[in-house]
């Protein structure tokens, strides 16, 4: 199984000389299985350069799993060239909109409304199939299994575990560690603690022992004090997660868009990395992992 990063920034693309080493595109991760199946996690702006590498594989059948439908995770989809080419089959998976009760197709089609984009979804030439997922559902793609779990973000956000021939990876999407919304003196504090423990156990059980963990590390601990509830993790929260689930390698991603490459490396150098079997890295565009 091959894993390649095509976008590692969060919130908004941030191209320029200060982000050239780690990249300025928003989230997109490409997986090619041992059997040659094409799986894409999220369709941020990184999916645009990825698309051009897939044109040599026409007719293309690929599977796009969306963690959630915030702009930085879907804004590249209308520019994914294979959707305009007849004969291609594109399966798109994700959650429905809990607030408006819109299905996945309706949510994604709206960014191609006449007001926002010159080509409408109905004019696309590829065969596009939309799949609304339920939590802890497993999708079989050949011999590969893709299993989701609900993470913590202000919109429904799935993390995905991918298993292929004994190798595994997990991507959190956007995820903020759970915290108790009640004060210790409140009646519901203890009950909420139990609910958090149950949810964390569910997530950790699914992730346990993966070869590669890719996690949302948007903020420093100091930044998080002002951005609590925004739905993102910190470098230290990702390391705490890795202590529990014990992956072979942890890749920190969803880099804050205002953060330069130099700043990223300074933060990384000051991270209190625990000793153990897990290796720690900053995700960067173009980095390929072979399992």
Mean pLDDT for the chain? Answer: 95
Residue 7: what pLDDT?
A: 98
Over the stretch 40-68, which tens digit does the pLDDT of each residue have?
Answer: 999 999 999 999 999 999 999 999 999 99
Over the stretch 208-240, which tens digit does the pLDDT of each residue have?
Answer: 999 999 999 999 999 999 999 999 999 999 999
Residue 271: what pLDDT?
A: 83
∠ at Cα 133 (286, 200), nearest 5°? Answer: 75
Joined together, the tokens standing for residue 103 give: 């299905």
**Structure pTM?**
0.97
Residues of the chain with pLDDT under 70: none
* In contact, 247 and 159? CB cutoff 8 Å: no
Catalogue all structural domains in the chain, each as residue range(s) with its CATH number.
Answer: 2-290 (3.60.15.10)
For helices 189-207 and 235-245, the axis angle rounded to 10 degrees is 70
Residue 98: what pLDDT?
A: 79
Q: Exposed/middle/buried for 122, CB within 10 Å: 0-12, 13-18, 19+? A: exposed
Over the stretch 195-216, which tens digit does the pLDDT of each residue have?
Answer: 999 999 999 999 999 999 999 9
3-state helix, strand, coil in the chain (%, to 5): 30, 25, 45
Alpha-carbon separation of residue 216 from 67, 121, 168, 186 (angstroms): 12, 30, 18, 31
């Amino acid at each position: 199984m091959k894993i390649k990063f095509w976008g590692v920034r969060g919130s908004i693309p941030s191209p320029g000389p200060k982000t050239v080493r780690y990249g300025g595109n928003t989230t997109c991760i490409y997986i090619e299985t041992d059997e040659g199946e094409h799986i894409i996690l999220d369709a941020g702006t990184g999916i645009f350069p990825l698309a051009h590498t897939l044109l040599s594989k026409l007719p293309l059948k690929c599977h796009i799993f969306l963690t959630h439908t915030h702009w930085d995770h879907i804004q590249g989809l209308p520019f994914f060239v294979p959707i305009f080419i007849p004969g291609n089959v594109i399966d798109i998976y994700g959650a429905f909109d809990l607030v408006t009760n819109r299905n996945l197709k309706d949510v994604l089609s709206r960014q191609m409304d006449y007001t926002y984009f010159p080509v409408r979804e109905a004019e696309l030439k590829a065969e596009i199939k939309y799949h609304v997922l339920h939590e802890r559902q497993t999708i079989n793609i050949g011999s590969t299994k893709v299993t989701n779990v609900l993470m913590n973000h202000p919109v429904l956000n799935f993390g995905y575990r991918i298993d292929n021939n004994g190798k595994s990876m997990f991507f959190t999407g956007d995820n903020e560690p759970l915290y108790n919304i009640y004060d210790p003196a409140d009646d519901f504090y203890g009950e909420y603690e139990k609910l958090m423990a149950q949810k964390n156990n569910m997530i950790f059980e699914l992730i346990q022992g993966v070869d590669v963990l890719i996690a949302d590390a948007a903020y420093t601990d100091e930044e998080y004090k002002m951005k609590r509830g925004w739905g993102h993790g910190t470098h230290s929260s990702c390391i705490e997660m890795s202590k529990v689930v014990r992956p072979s390698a942890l890749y920190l991603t969803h880099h804050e868009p205002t953060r330069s490459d130099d700043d990223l490396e300074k933060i990384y150098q000051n991270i209190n990395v625990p000793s153990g079997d897990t290796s720690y890295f900053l995700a960067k565009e173009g980095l390929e992992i072979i399992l």
